[in-house]
């Protein structure tokens, strides 16, 4: 209830602060009998790890995950899976100059207002570092979904600042530090280099897609598949907007264009983004998110201190100039957690999950 557990039936309780001894999560509700080792989880953690290129924070964390419970002889037992990640490089001293000052666009102001506590250590609990345990939990969900339904989750960067990235192929995504689906990222590198030198930051747009999603997932009124996706995505640090399918472009569409025709071999288009009436159609789930520019920048900003006096603030810590760069595996993980939770919810009430259709193919794509 205090906002640290994600999901209902595949429930992930997250704990830790960026500068405490460790972070982690407890997954409750994982079906028993799945093969699981740390290696199954480490891959996605490495994808979001800091320190991997000069365009992301230089904090150096191995982010090695340890399974504390819920797995016996290499198989999930159905009991809680506790995952622990030690913090090894928490240089709190870098934050010395912002101890008494609020950063514009940062959560330190609202945390102080809510709890009456000032925890200046790199954002404490509001740090994007806390997405690491979610990526770990998402890896468990991804594995189960892939084994059971062949569901796959992919993401890529589609815009950075005012620069559109374009889409060539999913194959390029792992070959560059931006998760860009293009072969040549030199323009991106130049853009980010100029930004970094200027001591400023920019936003990004990320696209996430789930394919092989069973049909019929999602609840009718409130825990709709798209509502839960919006909740999951907007909850990622720095996200300010979420679209499903045609998204904001659907405003200007006519109903005769927007509604995806059904044919005997599947839908003819996917403006719906894989969701109708909150329930999955079996087509790809198509999600797009807007990520705001990082608030921790070298450019001096007007602000106030905890006493309310005017001051200027500069953040010297090791921060991402575009926090969106590392957001792709996070968004994939959150999407996987949403789908996983809805599979279990669907099983509870309806008893079976379809990957093929009862009457017609869900998708021709």
- Among positions 156-195, residues that touch a second copy (CB under 8 A) are 159, 161-162
Exactly one of 213, 233, 331, 339 binds a second copy (CB under 8 A); that residue is 233
Within 13 A of 104's CA, how many CA atoms are on the CB side?
Answer: 15
Residue entry with tokens 């998708």: 363
CA atoms within 13 A on the CB side of 248: 5
User: Two tokens at 51?
Assistant: 């320190």
Q: Looking at beta carbons only, is 115 or 175 nearer to a second copy?
A: 115
Exactly one of 38, 46, 94, 119 binds a second copy (CB under 8 A); that residue is: 119
> d(Cα 148, Cα 150) in Å, to the nearest integer?
6
The candidate with the shortest Cα–Cα distance to 18, out of 90, 118, 83, is 90
Of 38, 45, 24, 91, nearest to 67 by C-alpha is 38
Q: Does 318 bind a second copy (CB under 8 A)?
A: no
Among 39, 174, 186, 359, the residue binding a second copy under the rule CB under 8 A is 359
**According to the binding rule CB under 8 A, does residue 281 interact with a second copy?**
yes
Asked if 325 interacts with a second copy (CB under 8 A), we say no
Rounded alpha-carbon distances, angstroms, from residue 314 to 199, 322, 347: 10, 17, 51
Min separation Cβ 145 and a second copy, Å: 14
Q: How many residues bind a second copy (CB under 8 A)?
A: 157
Site residues for a second copy, window 131-150 (CB under 8 A)? none
Q: Which of 41, 56, 65, 272 binds a second copy (CB under 8 A)?
A: 272
- Name the residue nearer to a second copy (CB basis): 175 or 265: 265
Q: What is the DSSP letter of 162?
A: T
What does the block give as tokens for 358?
A: 């009862």
Question: Which of these ranges, 57-65, 136-144, 181-189, 290-298, lies near a second copy under the rule CB under 8 A?
Answer: 290-298
Instruction: Choose which of 57, 176, 270, 303 interacts with a second copy (CB under 8 A).
Output: 303
Q: Tell me, what DSSP letter sits at residue 259?
A: S
Nearest residue (CB) to a second copy, 152 versus 262: 262
Instruction: Pick between residue 175 and residue 318 the one whose CB is nearest to a second copy.
Output: 318
Closest contact distance (angstroms) between CB of 209 and a second copy is 16
Say how many CA atoms lie within 13 Å of 285 toward its Cβ. Answer: 34
Nearest distance from C-beta of residue 229 to a second copy, angstroms = 7
We find the least distance from the C-beta atom of residue 186 to a second copy, in angstroms, to be 20
Which of 8, 146, 154, 196 is the binder for a second copy (CB under 8 A)? 8
Please check whether residue 142 is in contact with residue 36, taking contact to mean a CB–CB distance below 8 angstroms: no
User: What is residue 111's three-state secondary structure?
Assistant: helix
């Amino acid at each position: 209830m205090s906002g640290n557990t994600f999901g209902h039936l595949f429930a992930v309780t997250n704990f830790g602060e960026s500068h405490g001894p460790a972070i982690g999560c407890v997954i409750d509700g994982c079906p028993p009998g799945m093969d699981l080792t740390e290696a199954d989880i480490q891959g996605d953690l490495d994808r979001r790890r800091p320190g991997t290129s000069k365009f992301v924070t230089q904090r150096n964390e191995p982010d090695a995950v340890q399974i504390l419970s819920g797995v016996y002889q290499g198989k999930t037992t159905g009991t809680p899976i506790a995952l622990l990640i030690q913090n090894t490089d928490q240089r709190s001293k870098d934050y010395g100059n912002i101890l008494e000052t609020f950063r514009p666009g940062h959560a330190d102001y609202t945390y102080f207002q809510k709890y009456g506590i000032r925890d200046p250590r790199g954002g404490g609990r509001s740090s994007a570092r806390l997405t690491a345990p979610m990526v770990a939990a998402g890896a468990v969900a991804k594995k189960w979904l892939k084994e059971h339904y062949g569901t796959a989750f992919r993401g890529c960067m589609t815009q950075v600042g005012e620069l559109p990235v374009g889409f060539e192929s999913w194959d390029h995504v792992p070959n560059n530090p931006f998760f860009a689906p293009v072969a040549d990222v030199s323009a991106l590198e130049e853009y980010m280099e100029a930004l970094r030198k200027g001591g400023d930051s920019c936003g990004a747009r990320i696209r996430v897609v789930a394919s092989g999603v069973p049909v019929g997932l999602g609840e009718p009124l409130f825990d709709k598949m798209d509502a839960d996706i919006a909740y999951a995505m907007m909850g990622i640090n720095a996200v300010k907007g979420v679209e499903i399918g045609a998204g904001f472009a659907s405003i200007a569409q006519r109903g005769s264009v927007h509604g995806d025709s059904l044919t005997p071999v599947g839908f003819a288009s996917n403006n719906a983004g894989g969701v109708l009436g909150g329930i999955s159609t079996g087509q790809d789930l198509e999600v797009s998110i807007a990520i705001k520019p990082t608030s921790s920048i070298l450019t001096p900003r007007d602000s106030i201190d905890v006493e309310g006096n005017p001051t200027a603030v500069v953040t010297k810590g090791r921060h991402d100039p575009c926090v969106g760069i590392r957001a792709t595996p996070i968004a994939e993980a959150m999407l996987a957690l949403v789908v996983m939770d809805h599979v279990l919810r669907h099983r509870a009430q309806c008893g079976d999950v379809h990957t093929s259709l009862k009457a017609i193919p869900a998708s021709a794509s």
